Amino acid sequence: MTSGELTRAEAIDQAIGKVYTTADYYEVGREKIREFARALHDDNPIHWDDAKAREGGHGGLLAPLTIVAIMGAKAQAQLLEKAVPGDLLKSGVLQIDQRFAFHRPIEAGDQLYCDVSLESYRTVAGADLFTVKTLVRDVVKGVLQESWTSLAGPGEDADRLPEDFEDFVNEVMFTGGDSHVQPLSPAEPQAIPPESDQRWSTVPFESLSEGMDLPVRAQRFTRGDVINYIGVSGDPNPIHHSAKVAQAAGLETVVAQAMLTLGTAAGYLTSYVGDPAAFRDMSARFTSPVYVPAHEPAIVEYTAKVKSLDPETRRGLIVFGATVNGKRVFGRCTANVQFA
Q: Compute how many other C-beta atoms are within 10 angstroms of the C-beta atom of residue 33.
A: 24
Mind listing the pLDDT tens digit for each residue in 154-177? 776 556 678 788 887 888 887 776
Q: Count Cβ neighbours within 10 Å for each residue of 267-301 and write b for 16 or more, e otherwise.
A: bbbbbbbbbbbbbbbbbbebeebbbbeeeeebebe
Q: What is the pLDDT of residue 3?
A: 46
Q: Do the Cβ atoms of 255 and 291 come closer than 8 Å? A: yes
Residue type, 17: G
Domains of the chain (ranges plus CATH)?
A: 8-338 (3.10.129.10)
Residue 66 and residue 86: Cα distance in Å, rounded? 28
Mean pLDDT for the chain overall: 92
DSSP letters of 149-177? EEEEE--TT---S-TTHHHHHHHHS-TTT
For 23, residues 6+ apart whose C-beta sits below 8 A from its C-beta are: 182, 183, 184, 185
Q: What is the pLDDT of residue 181?
A: 84
Rounded to two decimals, the pTM is: 0.93
Nearest to 33 by CA among 58, 5, 70, 3: 70
In the predicted structure, residue 2 carries a pLDDT above the cut 50: no
Averaged pLDDT for residues 92-119 = 95
Nearest to 41 by CA among 170, 246, 292, 221: 221
Share of the chain above pLDDT 70, in %: 94
Q: Do the Cβ atoms of 280 and 199 come closer than 8 Å? A: no
